[in-house]
Amino acid sequence: MHFLLCESLNACDLPLQVDSNVREHLKPNTSVDNVVEILPYTDINRFLDELCQDRKLKVWLCASYGIEMLVPETQRILAPSPVSLAKAVKNQTELEGFKKCHVRDAAALCCYLAWLEKKVNSECFNSNW
């Protein structure tokens, strides 16, 4: 398994996305079959080019069109990953949170539309816009 991340402030003006605790936890271990390798995001072209040299290998992508185009069409898997499907399943607490959030958003939108209607109907609205 590979993760490609921005690794420096210069690369994408964001702080490091993987702290030392996570790096230690993901460090290669001989008792684990899957090794997680963290690479700088700027290495994506080189990495995918090297990876795709093995024509039998399939690459599971959930990425932008530009990144998809770096992988030959015959080697792409463009389907939802098992991880994204599992994350899509929500428990009752999460569903209740979504409902409450929608109610708050609806109330905020109603307040904004009422304010906008008042402004449009007032004399201070500039109709020359």
In tens, the pLDDT along 28-56 reads 666 666 567 777 777 888 888 888 888 88
pLDDT at residue 129 in the model: 55
pLDDT of residue 13: 46
CA distance to 12, 27, 28, 30, 91, per residue, from 33 (Å): 32, 12, 9, 7, 31
- Gap between the Cα atoms of 4 and 58, Å rounded: 17
Residues in the chain: 129
pLDDT at 66: 85
63 pLDDT band, cuts 50/70/90, is confident
Task: Tell me what pLDDT residue 9 has.
Answer: 44
Q: State how far the Cα of 27 lies from the Cα of 19, in Å rounded to an integer.
A: 12
Q: What is the pLDDT of residue 10?
A: 47
Is the separation of the CB atoms in 65 and 87 below 8 Å? no
Residue 24 in this model has a pLDDT that exceeds 80: no
25 or 126: which leads in pLDDT:
25
| Bridge partners for 7 per DSSP | none
Q: Is the pLDDT of residue 57 over 60?
A: yes
- Average pLDDT over every residue of 9-19: 54
Query: Is it the case that residue 98 has pLDDT exceeding 80?
Result: yes
Mean pLDDT of the chain: 78
